[in-house]
Amino acid sequence: MYYKNVIARPFPDPESLVEEVSRIIDHTNLRPEASEKELEKTCREAVDYGFYACCVPGFFVEKAVKIVDGAAKVVTVAGFPHGNSPRAVKVAEVKAAFEKGADEVDVVVNISLVKSGLLEEAVSEVQEILDVANESGGVLKVILETGYLTAEEVYRLGRELARIGVHFLKTSTGFGPRGATPEDILVMRRAVEGTRTKLKAAGGIRTGLQALFFYLLGVERIGTSSSLQIVNDLRALKELLH
């Protein structure tokens, strides 16, 4: 049911291989022990390497905005990493992030509600958060944390979130039981079919070949803290393809 037409994009021209993948990367540093100096470095790397965005903790958003100065987007997270903060707290967190200048917020769905069969309640919470994002002119990505969900739960949740118009579905936080898998993306692709909702693969993507494969699967964004390794791998692959 979920696994038709695996490859969604043609293989990029070797000359543009590195750029094609780099431009969809959210260069991420959400380590709890990351210093401000390290977070600043992440932001500068996003600009220097042509990544789509830097993804940093909420407290650092204002500084990140100044550092990238429009040369990259600023992404942050909310309800992270477990998704079980009270609804009002998550709404306030997302609102504050946009007010501080974030372009996008990645919020974790309430996984407990989903696993309890309370899908409607989980989606209702996201709808309230989505309203905040739309009013702010920002982008909302909803993290499903697929490692905790069955394929059927991923499909049903993804379908309902796409129905209300979330901008992105995202696989994982990077702090859950596992990261993104190709199977996750195929299920999510089927769930968003016929809608404008896009996909972000994140969690455990550490090599150029992994990133390239997710690119070929059709994701519009890749979240990773291994962006520089990915670029180096892709540069080496580019040389091999000549």
Q: What is the longest distance spanned by two Cα atoms in the chain? A: 54
Name the catalytic one among 73, 90, 95, 170.
Answer: 170
H or E stretch at 114: helix 111-115
Query: Which structure tokens are listed for 89?
Result: 């707290």
What is residue 165's predicted lDDT score, i.e. its pLDDT? 98
Residue 200 falls in the annotated catalytic set:
yes
Other CB atoms within 10 Å distance of the CB of residue 205: 26
Residue 170 falls in the annotated catalytic set:
yes
- Give SS3 for 195: coil
Name the catalytic one among 26, 106, 184, 233.
Answer: 106
Which residues touch 178 (CB under 8 Å, ≥6 apart)? 146, 147, 172, 203, 204
pLDDT tens sequence for the chain (242 residues): 556 678 889 999 999 999 999 999 999 999 999 999 999 999 999 999 999 999 999 999 999 999 999 999 999 999 999 999 999 999 999 999 999 999 999 999 999 999 999 999 999 999 999 999 999 999 999 999 999 999 999 999 999 999 999 999 999 999 999 999 999 999 999 999 999 999 999 999 999 999 999 999 999 999 999 999 999 999 999 999 97
Q: Which CATH architecture has domain 14-236?
A: Alpha-Beta Barrel (3.20)
pTM: 0.96
H or E stretch at 22: helix 17-22
Residue 184 falls in the annotated catalytic set:
no
Which residues touch 51 (CB under 8 Å, ≥6 apart)? 22, 23, 25, 26, 27, 45, 72, 227
> Facing residues of 77 across strands?
106
- Give SS3 for 205: coil
| C-alpha to C-alpha distances, 101 to 59, 80, 104, 204, 234, nearest whole angstrom | 11, 19, 9, 28, 32
Q: Which amino acid is at 12?
A: P
Name the catalytic one among 73, 90, 200, 233.
Answer: 200
